[in-house]
Chain A
Amino acid sequence: MLITNAIITQIIELGNSTFLIKIHSPETALKAKPGQFCNIKVSESIFPLLRRPFSICDVEGEYLYFMFKVQGEGTKLLAHRKTGETLDVLGPLGNGFNVECDYETAVFVAGGLGSAPFPFVTRQIPSDKKIFSFVGGRSAKDVITYNLKNIIVSTDDGSLGFKGNVIELLQENIHQLTSSKIKLFGCGPTVMLRSLKEFALSNNFECEISTECAMACGFGICQGCPIEAIDKDGYYLVCKDGPVFDVKKVVI
């Protein structure tokens, strides 16, 4: 991890208040692994005070992409930043997805903005493995499929794709995939991750999820982001021990 003054090279509006910000930060890009995040100071002033954590959406050479939705004051400021300005980026932080282990098919399960880390994961999955991307949203406008492969969509209101949530979509389709050894990779709202965990455990699938929690520092000193551990007494820290965990290790 390191702190760099990265140059903002592009801000792309994806619609529905969702943006991609592209930055030039060779050292960070070189070290980044899929599923890791950066803690970003969105403004140069003291407001807002804390950095904001964003998962690394994609890496192209010396460039990194972050995906965000304008939700509060911090993301509003970030959306108004200009190309050519510098951005104070601390990262890469945490532990990402393990894409190298023993499986044949990678199954991504993303809800809403939970699609954010998967373009980079897609890029890093070894070429001998298959990829399927199950993407859910409340309605069509909430479905984010940017740079994903083999996309299967669900919406709660049925405005696009399967009507229902993304875990129901996964259940409908899983029998077509189980001729190969699969591994599930999840990112999205906590209720979705909870259902995904149940689904993975009851079917005995390997599954890693990217979790989130309010945090200050992003590298383990503030102790602000606990997640209850299963395989030891006490808590893991989302920032340092996660944000990606094997579902068997944490209470969701």
Chain B
Amino acid sequence: MNIDLSVSVGSLKLKNPVILASGTVGYGNEISNLTDLSRLGAIVTKSLSLKPRRGNPPQRIIETASGMLNAIGLANVGVEEFVREKIPFLSQIDSAIICNIAASSIEEYVECVRILTNEETIKAFEINISCPNVKEGGLIFGHDLKSIGRITELTKAASTKPVIIKLSPNVYDIASYAKVVRQEGGDAVSAVNTLVGTSFNIYTRKPKLFNVTGGLSGPAIKPVALAKVLEISRNVDIPIIGIGGITCWQDAVEFMIAGASAIQLGTVNFIDPNAGIKIIQGLSDYCVKMAITNLKDITASYQI
């Protein structure tokens, strides 16, 4: 039986729906020692800002029940070094390279996209408007419909490449955010970024994270993420990349049934850097078992 695992996220064609999420794959080089990146549908590079960012002081991560909190603070090399030092390696990888942008102002988002759109290696942009771990930028846009609309509109105008907006789950009505992205011409949404959380040391009564709060990820958030994907899927006609606590192929199938055209793996890459390859195999086996010839047919196939 010939199984077709290829999917489309708007105009972005992927050989399979498995994408490694931003911030969990660096710029590809370290993890390439432990997995074959060229077999994946796509990888999303670590959030880039126009200038390099040092990130937050320690402690940046805490393990929690079935998850982890992180407050990295968008540590990154900046656009210039990315183009000079990281693109050459990424250009060797035979999967779609999606470049994630995180900025402190609307102008900075646009400037990053304007510079990077000339790079042939980059096949799409993912706009991070939902990082909970830096004061300026991130969530102040992510929870403001007007800003999201404006960022979508202006980044689309700055590039002919697909623009994906990564949404925050820390909102009451996520569908209305996806609706704005669609109205302003965004190609897709990634749902969801991390959930805001915190943790205290009970002896010192101090927060364990330097940043006080961080973003919760891992299996702990999967049901929440899945419900957000479903909510968007039922209310807005826009391609969705599902993300949140996926660790195995069964999770990936669940997200696709709920409405995702593709899925991203995040925290699991820290534990099993080869999880993506195992999930691709699992998806293929599932298709055989269920007599599905085109995996993309299961997207939004929920029976409710």
Contact = CB atoms under 8 A, between A and B. Distances in A.
Interface string A178-217: 0000000000000000000000000000000000011111
Interface of B is mostly: loop
Contacts of A240: 30
Contacts of A50: 63, 68, 270-271
B63 A225 contact: no
Contacts of A54: none
Interface residues of A, number: 30
Contact of A221 (B30, B59, B67, B68): B30
B75 interface: yes
B66 A219 contact: no
B68 A47 contact: no
A175 B151 CA distance: 66
With most chain B CB atoms within 10 A of its CB, the pick from A49, A51, A217, A224 is: A49
Contacts of A221: 24-26, 30-31, 269-270, 273
Given A216-B68, A223-B60, A223-B75, A41 B54 contact: no
A164 B259 CA distance: 64
Interface residues of B, number: 36
A43 B56 CA distance: 31
Interface in A85-133: 90
Given A214-B61, A228-B57, A233-B54, A1 B33 contact: yes
With most chain B CB atoms within 10 A of its CB, the pick from A213, A220, A222, A225 is: A222
B88 interface: no
Contacts of B219: 46, 49
B270 A48 contact: no
Contact of B55 (A46, A48, A226): A226
B62 A214 contact: yes
30 contacts: A2-B33, A2-B34, A3-B273, A3-B274, A49-B66, A49-B219, A50-B271, A90-B34, A213-B58, A214-B59, A214-B62, A216-B61, A216-B63, A217-B273, A221-B26, A221-B30, A221-B31, A221-B270, A222-B24, A222-B70, A222-B72, A223-B72, A224-B72, A225-B61, A226-B58, A226-B75, A234-B75, A235-B54, A235-B57, A240-B30
